[in-house]
Amino acid sequence: MKRQKKLPWRAIEEAFTIVCGKVKVDEASIDIERQFFAGNRTLAKDENGEWTRGHDASVFPLLEAAGALGPSPFLTRVFMYMYENVYKLTYSGALEF
């Protein structure tokens, strides 16, 4: 911390609580709950070769794999990093309750 100011708990409480509520305790993981591309519309060429709006977004294997619903090792690691940082802030006295 550059200014040696304490971080108010209320500044992170809502986000921390929401993320903690997403953890599946029995598996110690966080799931991807929605596909960011699902239901989105995009520009595409129509049968006349003209660009028009409102077409379903196309998907491909890598996008489907990256956006697969279910446990996410990446989100779980990010959660653990966040939890560790809140722990360190708490026990160093840098988090103000």
State if pTM tops 0.75. Answer: no
Q: H or E stretch including 76?
A: helix 73-92
Mean pLDDT taken over the chain: 87
Nearest in space to 72 (alpha carbons), one of 30, 24, 44, 41: 30
Q: How far is CA 43 from CA 52, 57, 93, in A?
A: 5, 8, 52
Q: How confident is the model at residue 56 (pLDDT cuts 50, 70, 90)?
A: confident
Give the model confidence (pLDDT) of 29-39 as tens digits: 899 888 777 77
Q: Is the pLDDT of residue 59 over 60?
A: yes
Give the model confidence (pLDDT) of 60-72 as tens digits: 888 888 888 899 9
44: which 2 tokens?
A: 């595409």
Q: Is the pLDDT of residue 46 over 90?
A: no
**What is the predicted pLDDT for the residue at 2?**
64
